[in-house]
A and B are shown apart, each in its own frame.
Chain A
Amino acid sequence: MAQPTPRIIKETQNLAKDKVQGIDVTPDPQNFKHFYVIISGPPNTPYEGGVFDVELLLPDDYPMSPPKCVFNTKIYHPNIDNLGRICLDVLKDKWSPALQIRSILLSIQVLLSSPNPDDPLNNEAANQWKTNEGQALMKAREYTQKYAKKH
């Protein structure tokens, strides 16, 4: 296996040093490009109290390409589909090498507190959000209770 680049080492060190509230990152000891992330649902959102497993994988040409992120925990969110794929601009065309794993995870955290139904990935959820937000929030809370409870 290739050696981790200094940047990845540095980022990993920084993640361990300065923790972001609500986000817990564990590097895979076997693969330095692989991270297990646990994001706590932000307060005052339907995801409050939930614990979401997210997997993060750095591409080979990182930081020139964005990292790949996937939700392992089922979540009801207009920008996250059934497979856990995330629709987030910084993970796609808005990626910049100046961004870091930390900034990506923060963006995901923000995405949870402010869903964007105008740029949907999960159409059903997006429609629900647009038509009946109250019901959508309830469903999201349900999902959280059901799938994202701490064990």
Chain B
Amino acid sequence: MQELVQQMIAISGGQLNEEKAKQYLKYGKNDLELALNYYYQAEERKKRQQPTLACTKLMEGAKKQQQLEKILKDLNQEYKKPIEECLDQQIVLSKPSGNLDFQQTNDIEEIAIQYAQEKRQAKFRQSSEMIKQQINEEDHKNTQLQNQQQKIKKKQNKIKEQKDQILEEGESKKNDDQENKQKKNQNSGLKLNSGETTISRGITFPLFIGSAKIKGYALGSQNLKDVQQQCVEIILDGTCKVVDRGKKSNKIVKGQNIIRICYDEREIGRLNSEYEDLFSPLLQENYIKIIAYHVQSQILCKTHDSILLQIDVFLNEKALSDGTSDQFDDTVQEFVKYSDNFQKLYDLVNCKLITSTKVDVIDKKKIENNNLEIKENSNNNTLNKSAITYQEDPFKQKPKQLSLNDFKLKNNIQDQNQSQLMKVEIDKDKQQNEMNEEIDCDQFLGFNNCTHHDLEMHDGPKQLGSKLFDYQKQALTWLLQREGVIKAEDESSSNALHPLWKEYQTSQGVKIYFNPFSGLSSLDFPSSSRRCNGGILADEMGLGKTVMLISLILANPFKIPQDYYHKSSRKNQNYSGKKLIGDYVGYKKKKWARTLIIVPVSLLQQWQDELNYHCSQHLRIFQYTGAERNQSDLCQYDVVVSSYHTVSVEFKKPSKDPYSIYNYNWFRVILDEAHYIKGRTTLLAQGAYELDCYYRWCSTGTPIQNNLNDMFSLIHFIKLEPWSDYLWWNAYINKPHEEGKDNIFPLLNSILRPILLRRTKKSKDQNGKPIISLPNKEIHFESIELRKDERIVYDKMEKKSQDEVEGFLAKGILMSQYMKVFELLIRLRQICDHPLLITSRSDVKNIDQLEEQIDKFLSNQALDREDQEELLMNNQQVQICQDKQQYKQEVLRRVKENDIPPCPVCLEQVEDTIVTICLHFLCRLCLYGILANSSECPYCRQYLTKQDTMTLPRESSFSLNWKENYRRSSKIEKVMQILQAIPKNEKCVIFTQFIGMIQMIEFDLDNQKIKHLRLDGSMPQQERAEVLKTFKESDEYRIFIISLKAGGVGLNLTAANHVIMIDPWWNPAVEEQAIERVYRIGQTKETHVYRLICKQTVEERMIKLHDIKKQLFESSIRTEERSNLRMEMFKNIILGS
């Protein structure tokens, strides 16, 4: 025995150790040759396994293992049977069959090979037919294994051939095999070396990133015997042209990249098209290098038989960027094209995506907890709670959120819960308040992630005269964090991964960072810590943003920033972060000024008042508006308040004045109501962007009004890299969004979270208490029945509008008549307010003109008529209008009241009105068409020539002196009733959209000798401030009439606690804004809102259609749909369907 072992070791050339030899001896008893044979096969097998090791890892899942074990068991049984049947010859082989080395051969294919090899041994002594028969029998018995066995049969064929060879060449053949293997390895080594191998930053290029198994197909029938297990070449053929045979011209339609599998300069097949698509651009651009080995195919191949290849993928240095560039330059553009390819590549080669599994566990637990909480306390604002859980691991979460596709799959449970929470919230909302649409928007955009509940409270600066609420203190902490005065906990972890990047690890432990958005790969760690000084304070209106900002101004007083370098922005648009600091020319010789606050005109005074009110110490404030703005040096002021308008004027005509705002470096610029700059191309926005400042702040209650681009403008202003570049924004946010992909929201969320603070009035603090407590708000819907005379006017107008819209519809030109339809709607709504509003659209001159014209016409007419009567002796009784005065009055009345019936000829509304002597109204063209071959009035058959007609002035807007004809409309009646009912010590604000309505209410109140105030867009700033002050302070004035457009935003009217909304506005959010003027922080009394709606009118329909409008604001609707939807809405309101 021992002797034999020694002998074996000798024969194997030291490759066998003693133990192994013994083992094999046991198997082979005395049959040394057989034992050796088996040994070599095992060696061969191992070698074959080596390239597939990576693959087998793929199958390491527990399920697969179970499956494999089962298969193995079956195989064993199966194998034993035939052996036992011919036991006398098979003693040798029975044992190895039981001892298959399972652990090494998890791969099904490997098992198959092994199994087949065992079979081969059996065949040594037994006829192969017998086994085949047996296997066939097995086939029937075990259907589950059918596929497996088919493979085995194939293997048998192969092995048969191999067997023949072995029989012929014996051991020497096996040695050859070994040599071949070695050669192959050398070959592959050579190939690698032949490529440009460079070493950069301690990493050898090309960099191995992983292996994969891919499939190709054979071309033509061929014998692939010599290719088995060999290294094959993967050749990209980009020159191949596909010729369109359908056309006779044989024109080359497109060039297609084909990847050929070659061996020994002979094409044996091609890669499957999916892999061709994946690899060809990457190979073409020389980003990757692929080394492939043949793994498995039939020896005798037919076309389209599959060939299994094992590939090792290497990244060339070219494919890697430095990983920190945020510039959207040509390189990025280039990579963007291949981002999908790279993504697939990384997935294919099984790079490990590094995510913290711990987070998953924690999150699931928290979600479960949350669910419990919902059950326990359904009144709590559950959504915000779940938002908190999101916040607690913001950075760990990020990589996960960003693997957008993965995100959905992995966090399915989370998503479901989330959506459930949302439903709960939305349902609750509906019950609570139909009007509140802000929340919907918030949920959609994930603003509720931006509540930042975990902030500490800052005590507030000493100079602040007033006391801050807790949530305002939190906001101050956040503001100071953003300004870098307080170190934020989040940001201390500066080595957090940049939100856009994924981290992969190759099997060799090299970490590769990949940006699925830009397609860039990098070895450098992309850090997320990019500073932008400032942010967006987007608390809901009425939470006291002004106070928060004032306390910020006081808490972080001016000092010349050390790290500020002026950028020559106009020259170098593509500046990015710290990187280019060296390039700056040093800051221009500009003086430093302190804080600049840009506000809408109507808020100028309020800001100044609030600044004075909240600061115990005197602040030097300068109002930079009006013609004399550039008179004093802005350095000497603590705060400069200016308006958007002034800034845009200044921007448009750069003044050479040394004291222009553009000639200073500002320590801090605050845009109040920053949605004023939402259009990024407007002068207002451009003017704001161009200011040189260190800290940039936006403050707005409605960061998104219509679409996501509104947000971009703000981000551009605060210079949040890289999103402030529109190319990036458009590529990653706007475009996917408009294309209807909803997966941008996790990304958007992660962008906004650090820079945006938003709480709503419904927000709760950590303890679940509402952050602010306001008195109750009650909304009264006042339905108004139109009086009969109003009804008549309204119905007439409505009918006319409907006819017109239907006409547009029939002609199919509705969409192009947007303005016209809009105007019709406005008319209808004005009638609801007061019919005089449309009949009295005053232009007194026109009426006078008309009167003159009629007089002239009538006198001419009389002359003509007499002449004609003499001339024409036909006995027609010509009825000259006896009473000229009567005629004149009638024409005037009809025109004023717009009481002109449709033209009888075209049945449309009369266009280019003509009036006949017989007092009939027609379109000029229609009538002249008739008079061309007849001389009768189409109405009354009176004798009529062109001389008997008068064309009215085109603009048919005339007016009565409404004051003479004034009579309360039902709506004004209602307003007066409400005003009567308000207790004497409470004040009321009336909002309307129509100046005429303001005048009428004023007129009515004057008649009653009730003191009142008004504010509209035409008032100069000074006057506005006075009016606001009077209303606040004087008890005499209890009624304040405000134009919705002029005063709906920003004003603070908490002195009143009654709001009358005279007319509904398209956008419920605008109404909400107006109501917030009164129902805001500082309101102490119970607030009543009266919304006046006329029954069975467009107003009622408008309210119903507010839902559609809500949809418009949920940006789920794309722009092209939006205008359609809006038009549809108008149509429906008018037609009442």
Interface residues of B in 796-813 (CB under 8 A from A): 806-807, 810-811
Interface residues of A in 96-112 (CB under 8 A from B): 96-100
User: Which residues of A lie under 8 Å from residue B139 when comparing CB positions?
Assistant: none
B926 contacts partner chain A, Cβ-Cβ < 8 Å? yes
Q: Do A98 and B904 have beta carbons less than 8 Å apart?
A: yes
Shortest distance between the CB of B109 and any CB in chain A (Å): 70
Interface segment out of the listed A3-11, A20-28, A33-41: A3-11
* Bound form: Cα–Cα A55–B473 in Å: 85
Q: Do B810 and A9 have beta carbons less than 8 Å apart?
A: yes
Interface size class of A (residues with CB under 8 A): 10 to 19
* Bound form: Cα–Cα A9–B930 in Å: 20
B936 is contacted by which of A7, A11, A96, A100 (Cβ under 8 Å)?
A96
Q: Do A96 and B938 have beta carbons less than 8 Å apart?
A: yes
Q: Do A64 and B933 have beta carbons less than 8 Å apart?
A: yes
B908 contacts partner chain A, Cβ-Cβ < 8 Å? yes
A63 contacts partner chain B, Cβ-Cβ < 8 Å? yes
Interface residues of B in 906-934 (CB under 8 A from A): 906-908, 926, 929-930, 933
A-B contact count (CB 8 A): 37
Residues A6 and B939 in contact in the complex (CB < 8 Å), given A64-B930, A97-B904, A97-B930: no
Q: Which residue of A lies closest to B929 (CB)?
A: A64
A7 is contacted by which of B906, B933, B938 (Cβ under 8 Å)?
B906
* Bound form: Cα–Cα A6–B813 in Å: 13
User: Which residues of B lie under 8 Å from residue A7 when comparing CB positions?
Assistant: 905-907
* Bound form: Cα–Cα A11–B810 in Å: 13
Interface residues of A in 10-32 (CB under 8 A from B): 10-11, 13
B941 contacts partner chain A, Cβ-Cβ < 8 Å? yes
User: Which residues of A lie under 8 Å from residue B908 when comparing CB positions?
Assistant: 6, 10
Q: Do A6 and B807 have beta carbons less than 8 Å apart?
A: yes
Q: Do A97 and B810 have beta carbons less than 8 Å apart?
A: no
* Bound form: Cα–Cα A94–B941 in Å: 9
Shortest distance between the CB of A7 and any CB in chain B (Å): 5
User: Which residues of B lie under 8 Å from residue A10 when comparing CB positions?
Assistant: 807, 907-908
For B806, B906, B907, B929, which residue has the most chain A Cβ atoms within 10 angstroms? Answer: B907
Q: Do A98 and B933 have beta carbons less than 8 Å apart?
A: no
Q: Do A97 and B811 have beta carbons less than 8 Å apart?
A: no
User: Which residues of B lie under 8 Å from residue A99 when comparing CB positions?
Assistant: 938
User: Which residues of B lie under 8 Å from residue A6 when comparing CB positions?
Assistant: 807, 810-811, 906-908
Q: Which residue of A lies closest to B811 (CB)?
A: A6
* Bound form: Cα–Cα A100–B907 in Å: 10
Q: Do A63 and B905 have beta carbons less than 8 Å apart?
A: yes
Contact with B along A92-128 (1 / 0, CB 8 A): 0010111110000000000000000000000000000
User: Which residues of B lie under 8 Å from residue A63 when comparing CB positions?
Assistant: 905
User: Which residues of A lie under 8 Å from residue B810 when comparing CB positions?
Assistant: 6, 9
Residues A97 and B905 in contact in the complex (CB < 8 Å), given A64-B929, A64-B930: yes
Interface size in chain B (residues, C-beta < 8 A):
17
Q: Which residue of A lies closest to B810 (CB)?
A: A9
User: Which residues of B lie under 8 Å from residue A94 when comparing CB positions?
Assistant: 941
* Bound form: Cα–Cα A96–B931 in Å: 11
* Bound form: Cα–Cα A7–B926 in Å: 12
Q: Do B926 and A97 have beta carbons less than 8 Å apart?
A: yes
* Bound form: Cα–Cα A21–B938 in Å: 26
User: Which residues of B lie under 8 Å from residue A98 when comparing CB positions?
Assistant: 904-905, 938-939
* Bound form: Cα–Cα A99–B936 in Å: 13
For B807, B906, B908, which residue has the most chain A Cβ atoms within 10 angstroms? Answer: B906
Shortest distance between the CB of A90 and any CB in chain B (Å): 11
Q: Which residue of A lies closest to B906 (CB)?
A: A7
* Bound form: Cα–Cα A144–B1115 in Å: 68
Q: Which residue of B lies closest to A3 (CB)?
A: B811
Contact with B along A67-108 (1 / 0, CB 8 A): 000000000000000000000000000101111100000000
* Bound form: Cα–Cα A97–B944 in Å: 14
* Bound form: Cα–Cα A46–B486 in Å: 103
* Bound form: Cα–Cα A11–B929 in Å: 19
* Bound form: Cα–Cα A7–B811 in Å: 12
* Bound form: Cα–Cα A64–B934 in Å: 10
* Bound form: Cα–Cα A114–B810 in Å: 39
Shortest distance between the CB of B937 and any CB in chain A (Å): 8
User: Which residues of A lie under 8 Å from residue B904 when comparing CB positions?
Assistant: 97-98
Shortest distance between the CB of A13 and any CB in chain B (Å): 8
* Bound form: Cα–Cα A104–B926 in Å: 20
Shortest distance between the CB of A49 and any CB in chain B (Å): 35
User: Which residues of A lie under 8 Å from residue B930 when comparing CB positions?
Assistant: 64, 96-97
Shortest distance between the CB of A94 and any CB in chain B (Å): 8
Shortest distance between the CB of B274 and any CB in chain A (Å): 53
Residues A96 and B939 in contact in the complex (CB < 8 Å), given A9-B810, A64-B930, A64-B933: yes
* Bound form: Cα–Cα A99–B939 in Å: 8
Q: Which residue of B lies closest to A10 (CB)?
A: B907
Q: Do A96 and B933 have beta carbons less than 8 Å apart?
A: no
Shortest distance between the CB of A59 and any CB in chain B (Å): 14
User: Which residues of B lie under 8 Å from residue A64 when comparing CB positions?
Assistant: 929-930, 933
User: Which residues of A lie under 8 Å from residue B926 when comparing CB positions?
Assistant: 97
* Bound form: Cα–Cα A94–B938 in Å: 10
* Bound form: Cα–Cα A6–B933 in Å: 22
Shortest distance between the CB of B49 and any CB in chain A (Å): 78
* Bound form: Cα–Cα A96–B939 in Å: 7
* Bound form: Cα–Cα A71–B728 in Å: 75
Shortest distance between the CB of A112 and any CB in chain B (Å): 24
* Bound form: Cα–Cα A13–B926 in Å: 21
* Bound form: Cα–Cα A64–B926 in Å: 10
User: Which residues of B lie under 8 Å from residue A96 when comparing CB positions?
Assistant: 930, 936, 938-939, 941
Q: Which residue of A lies closest to B907 (CB)?
A: A10
Interface residues of A in 46-66 (CB under 8 A from B): 63-64
User: Which residues of B lie under 8 Å from residue A11 when comparing CB positions?
Assistant: 907
Shortest distance between the CB of A145 and any CB in chain B (Å): 39
Interface residues of B in 929-981 (CB under 8 A from A): 929-930, 933, 936, 938-939, 941
* Bound form: Cα–Cα A10–B904 in Å: 11
Query: Which 6 pairs across A and B sit closest by C-beta, in order of nearness?
Result: A98-B938, A98-B904, A96-B938, A10-B907, A97-B905, A97-B938
Add 7 more A-B contacts to A6-B907, A97-B905, A97-B938 (CB < 8 A).
Answer: A6-B810, A6-B908, A11-B907, A64-B930, A96-B936, A97-B926, A98-B904
What would 8 A/B residue contacts be, using CB atoms closer than 8 Å?
A: A6-B810, A7-B905, A7-B906, A64-B933, A96-B936, A97-B904, A97-B905, A98-B938
A-side residues, CB < 8 A to B, are 6-7, 9-11, 13, 63-64, 94, 96-100
